[in-house]
A and B are shown apart, each in its own frame.
Chain A
């Protein structure tokens, strides 16, 4: 798998926090902010804006309709980038404030690969540096960063989720912006002697530094070394080798590995992998590569299977296939459209859905019984119609069987095991039982 495809989920995160709300002095500051945002060049500068709804970007309209995005005095709006469909600036003065976080300007770029594009990486990186410089020359700054969002979230800096976190050195990102108070706390001389690709003192006493020329290679060995050196310089209590080891561990998340799943449920596990964020994808693949569900226990040798004990066998089968199995379509048709085809391919999707949403254990009892009934009937119906099986209806559904070749499979019992817990949806998947039945047919 190509690295860009593997890392497709990664976003680029850039934010600058200010201890001053520029709007507090009046709306003249709006023009200054828009000047900054427009100065980012033809690719990034805004084309759209989102107020109550999405509009074509216009300073005049924005000013006139600013009340649409004002809530109890705090202002918050977004400006969509010209060239990148899912990338935008976010401008907001906070409703909750602390001494060093009252206002933030951020730029969200999706996907991160925009900063890896050959021939464009340097130019785009420069846009961000200029934006940080420009902001610091107009407004006071307390903290700022630009880095891979996933790598950021895996590190110890809480600023992605909490703008009010204490302003101190947590990590060395690609771009780092420290406000004057922070610089004084660390010691200006120490900050200014940080090993960096670029380091600048900005107006107002802030300091900006980059660990690498561009954000693109943040997970490379050179970048990790640069980050580690900068970090241990700023936080002398840390050891270079420890920091480096942790960073290298993080880098693994960004290098692809191939799945090697249990073949019976490989398609189910691939679906489950959709729920692994990039930060966990690699370790989840490693774990699932070792996962082998127990073989199905819900069967008897065909010769031991009981005979039907219902008064009307044909009627019982009609009940299973037309009522119970139909119920599953009614329950899941929106969430798992393939149940409408009643094909074996729908089984991994049903298993996945029930695992993901954890319906089995979450449903109220009556609904859960209904689900067991319909899952069992649906599985049984596939065994009958796709594998040439034969229903053996029983008064107690757990005993009802489908005879395929030499085995009598117990689909309702399987369904009951399936809904016990989320893990049970994997351990006792419908998919696996069907594939086993298919195999024992020959």
Chain B
């Protein structure tokens, strides 16, 4: 087919006026690119709404598989389709204009960029294979691409810079599907008030984009999200297997708002912890508190893990890998689970039980032998045994009772889990 054959793509593009088969094929491609743009815009909107520090990336794998390094008129046309559908959808979802523009630019210049990066990456991989340097992510390769006197150097350099700016409020590209999975998981566990499951009555409660409740501005992103969420849930509930699938009715607006606020705070806490771990990475090994066992740690967020004998994928908040052990049969891998659990109103007894439950849950979800499902991760598709599981609580929500804090650590320790208290400053 068209995949990995840019010359063929250009031929199809050129022939589309005269050849109905080529026209149909190109039309199909256009719709695929359009869909990719819309999907990417939705993810970006979600990231912005949650105020994630990272802006994510589109499905480069799909885009590159079709366009390769080509910069012919067909490839340019498809990039434009992608950028346009992205921009339109992102604006509709209320994404900031500057963000829309810079991402659209990155999409458009990606082809040229890719050709420059391609060379740098090949060279980097050759050196990595020779064992002389660690494999870096796109950011490393991109940074290295800049000084290369490669094809279209100036444009490539500008594109590289822009991409770094766009993806670059971050340390590593954040896996947005993981955030979505978590949002879904958190929504299912949400205990706030829900509306009726009786469709006839529920229909009467339909929220309208232009008629938000008092105190909410019509254009507010969260209200738009709520309307989208409500409509999706309504249509799921109307589906034939809603009952068997255990679909719950939508949250009432106030509960939804509280739920999203809490979720955003949890995400913020997670990125605080990531920043703290990143700070550790930059310290000499002897000065690190958490990553002292690692010679060259690399931290990634929301890494998907597959578990033996289970279809459920888990997403670990932070995964630390010691790059110095990558060539070993057993690389050193540490998993961090961050939790904003409010212990302040719990009895001593319940607090201890909760720590044990959390430790066991962290072991179940992130411990043992796992397969790493993050593309581009140095251990992608490798089965590894997690060396150490950590739980990080929000320090401000733990009672200031030294005995309790010490014992919490011991309880987790008896499960083999290391406990930390993090107070963001």
Q: Which residue of the partner chain B has the closest CB to A48?
A: B349
Task: Decide if B404 is an interface residue (CB 8 Å cutoff).
Answer: yes
Task: Decide if B402 is an interface residue (CB 8 Å cutoff).
Answer: yes
Helix, strand, loop or mixed for chain A's interface? mixed
| B416 cross-chain contacts in A, Cβ below 8 A | 95-96
Task: Decide if A362 is an interface residue (CB 8 Å cutoff).
Answer: yes
Inter-chain contact A160/B407, CB cutoff 8 Å: yes
Task: Decide if A11 is an interface residue (CB 8 Å cutoff).
Answer: yes
Inter-chain contact A279/B402, CB cutoff 8 Å: yes
- Per the bound structure, the CA–CA distance linking A108 and B402 in Å amounts to 14
- Per the bound structure, the CA–CA distance linking A86 and B353 in Å amounts to 13
Q: Specify which of B272, B363, B402, B405 lies most central, judged by the most chain A CB atoms within 10 Å of its CB.
A: B402
Inter-chain contact A366/B51, CB cutoff 8 Å: yes
Inter-chain contact B347/A86, CB cutoff 8 Å: yes
Complex interface residues of chain B between 344 and 375 (CB less than 8 A to chain A):
347-349, 352-353, 356, 360, 363
| B215 cross-chain contacts in A, Cβ below 8 A | 326, 330
- Residue among A80, A149, A164, A366 making CB contact with B349, cutoff 8 Å: A80
Inter-chain contact A86/B349, CB cutoff 8 Å: yes
Inter-chain contact A277/B401, CB cutoff 8 Å: yes
- Per the bound structure, the CA–CA distance linking A74 and B413 in Å amounts to 13
Q: Which residue of the partner chain A has the closest CB to B258?
A: A334
Inter-chain contact A78/B425, CB cutoff 8 Å: no
Inter-chain contact A11/B356, CB cutoff 8 Å: no
- Per the bound structure, the CA–CA distance linking A291 and B416 in Å amounts to 43
- Per the bound structure, the CA–CA distance linking A71 and B357 in Å amounts to 10
| B360 cross-chain contacts in A, Cβ below 8 A | 71
Q: Which residue of the partner chain B has the closest CB to A279?
A: B402
Proximity bits, A162-190, B CB within 8 Å = 1, else 0: 11100000000000000000000000000
- Residue among B264, B349, B352, B402 making CB contact with A153, cutoff 8 Å: B402
| A6 cross-chain contacts in B, Cβ below 8 A | none
| B405 cross-chain contacts in A, Cβ below 8 A | 153, 161, 277
Complex interface residues of chain A between 406 and 425 (CB less than 8 A to chain B):
421-422
Task: Decide if B415 is an interface residue (CB 8 Å cutoff).
Answer: yes
Chain A's nearest CB lies how many Å from the CB of B61? Answer: 30
Chain B's nearest CB lies how many Å from the CB of A91? Answer: 12
Complex interface residues of chain B between 405 and 425 (CB less than 8 A to chain A):
405-407, 409-410, 413-416, 423-425
- Per the bound structure, the CA–CA distance linking A345 and B305 in Å amounts to 50
Q: Do A150 and B402 form a contact, CB below 8 Å, given A104-B414, A161-B407?
A: yes
Complex interface residues of chain B between 247 and 296 (CB less than 8 A to chain A):
264, 268, 272
- Residue among A160, A275, A366 making CB contact with B403, cutoff 8 Å: A160
Task: Decide if B80 is an interface residue (CB 8 Å cutoff).
Answer: no
Inter-chain contact B400/A362, CB cutoff 8 Å: no
- Residue among B352, B363, B402, B415 making CB contact with A90, cutoff 8 Å: B352
Q: Do A11 and B410 form a contact, CB below 8 Å, given A90-B352, A95-B416, A364-B268?
A: no
Q: Which residue of the partner chain A has the closest CB to B51?
A: A364
- Per the bound structure, the CA–CA distance linking A183 and B255 in Å amounts to 60
Task: Decide if A23 is an interface residue (CB 8 Å cutoff).
Answer: no
Task: Decide if A278 is an interface residue (CB 8 Å cutoff).
Answer: yes
Q: Do A96 and B415 form a contact, CB below 8 Å, given A13-B407, A362-B424?
A: yes
| B348 cross-chain contacts in A, Cβ below 8 A | 11, 86, 108, 110
- Per the bound structure, the CA–CA distance linking A279 and B405 in Å amounts to 12
Inter-chain contact B414/A92, CB cutoff 8 Å: yes
Task: Decide if B396 is an interface residue (CB 8 Å cutoff).
Answer: yes
Task: Decide if A276 is an interface residue (CB 8 Å cutoff).
Answer: yes
Interface residue ranges, B against A (CB under 8 Å): 51, 215, 264, 268, 272, 347-349, 352-353, 356, 360, 363, 396, 400-407, 409-410, 413-416, 423-425
Known contacts A11-B401, A71-B360; 6 further A-B pairs (Cβ under 8 A): A13-B407, A78-B352, A95-B416, A149-B406, A150-B403, A161-B413
Task: Pick 20 A–B contacts, CB within 8 A, sort by A.
Answer: A11-B348, A50-B349, A78-B352, A86-B348, A94-B414, A95-B363, A108-B407, A153-B402, A153-B406, A160-B407, A160-B410, A161-B407, A162-B410, A162-B413, A163-B410, A277-B400, A277-B401, A278-B402, A364-B264, A366-B51
